[in-house]
A and B are shown apart, each in its own frame.
Chain A
Amino acid sequence: MKATNIYEEKHKWVMFGRDPDKPEGIIDTNQYLVCHNDRAIVLDPGGIEIFSNMLAALLHHVSIEQITDLFASHQDPDIISSLGLWDQALPNAKLHAPWLWESFIRHFGLSSIEYVAAPDDGGTIDLGGVKLEMIPAHYLHSSGNFHIYDPVAKILMSGDVGAALEPVGADIFVDDFDSHIDKMKMFHQRWMPSNRAKNDWISRVRKLDVQMMAPQHGRIFKGENVKKFLDWFEALEVGTAIG
């Protein structure tokens, strides 16, 4: 699994993905690690099928004891179906996830890790001094959904928003925004159900200083491309499957 340091100043952000060893037929996912001193959090740790590669990749950057927190933006299997295995590896960790999905996510196997249910209006995860904000992103696409904003690194981990369907070998960053549109248009039109929810999220995100928008699939948007994405998304009609 490829690991890319995307921010390394006061603390560190690492993106994991583009796994050449992932089994055929499962969607490629991006996982993120935020670490600060002796604490680390894994954002959307991924599905059961990529657990071994993900754990191995993480141990190049942090020790097991350092991983004190996990975050699941929503309940999908590619986000958190590995929970039963993390539960065995990190018995003292906390899982931050939407309150709405607690009784559903527990079906993946949770007996040791503590489920910290995030209320609808979000909250803060304090990673030993680094405060990560949980930004409400309900109905984008899941009915209980959060993104993570780091005001120091100015990174927004945007879950499925900004996602693109690409081959495993794709670049990490969006280079040419216009040519990237084709790879994400259908995804957003079909997976995002509500224009109202979309616009609410855009107005919320426009108030933040976002230098990097990091989705769970596809490429990361940097600088000017973040604004271009918000403008494009604002104009896009979503929830198209109902005709």
Chain B
Amino acid sequence: MSANVKKSKGGPDRHPLAPWMFLAPYLVYAAVFFAYPLLYAAWLAFHQTDGPQASVFVGLGNFKFVFTDPRFYKALTNTTIYAIASICIQLPISLGLAMLLNNSNSRMKGAFRLMIFSPNLVGQIFVGVMFAVIFTPHYGLFNKGLDALIGWGLEEQWLQNPDLLLPALIIISLWMYVGYNMIYFLAGLQSVDKQLIEAAQIDGANSWQTFIHITIPQIKPIAIFVVIMSTIGSYQLFDLPFALMKGQGFGPGDSALTIVGYLYDWGFNVGDLGTAAAIGWVLAVIIFTISIFQIKVTHAYDVD
């Protein structure tokens, strides 16, 4: 212990190396499992590999290949449709449920929150395993339920029909994640200033006007957070379609192929880690671009 350390805010007699000791595991981890793989991924992306042994420099060859491969565009389209559906269908439902809960008394709030959140305990693989059966034609729970409700869909082959596979994925993710995003919206709504709402109501604002002019601006930070997290999560979708397709391929006509599925296929089915790393970088750039775009757009809205 060095007693002559300058007495800063930290107080008496503390070792200058103490914070570094606490941080040491992270620093080692970040160097070995973040910085190195990141640089390695950059290196790999410019090489052709065949198994973990041989590699040849190919310049931009991997990227050229990815950008000319129709499967990449199929994966990109599928993932984008899924992401847009997540934001446009799932988040409004989450917000609606959060608002219903926010106005309820606390005991009811706790019980409903628990129930609606519960699918999040179940990993995507287990959900995929369950829903592979739930979407069975004629016998599946979903097919029967849909038939009972609107008289259609009993015999639909959700998982074999290329037009219905992506909608099925969206329906499943709705079941899984509505409760998750609802928790965030609820936290945001609980911090909305109640006096502002009362003041608006006294001024004669109806509930729609209150919602647009008071609630929305106040929950905007958390809404932006949810939108960005949801986009990032959507672009990394893999486990769910993989399990739904029973680990065999990516559905008829690649209709359940996602970008990560495409990466997995190249890296671990084909064994070409170079192309996989290139796809990984492309995915990183896509996620970066969209996140920055979302931040910019929402911020610009803030200024005016």
> Is the pairing of A and B real?
no
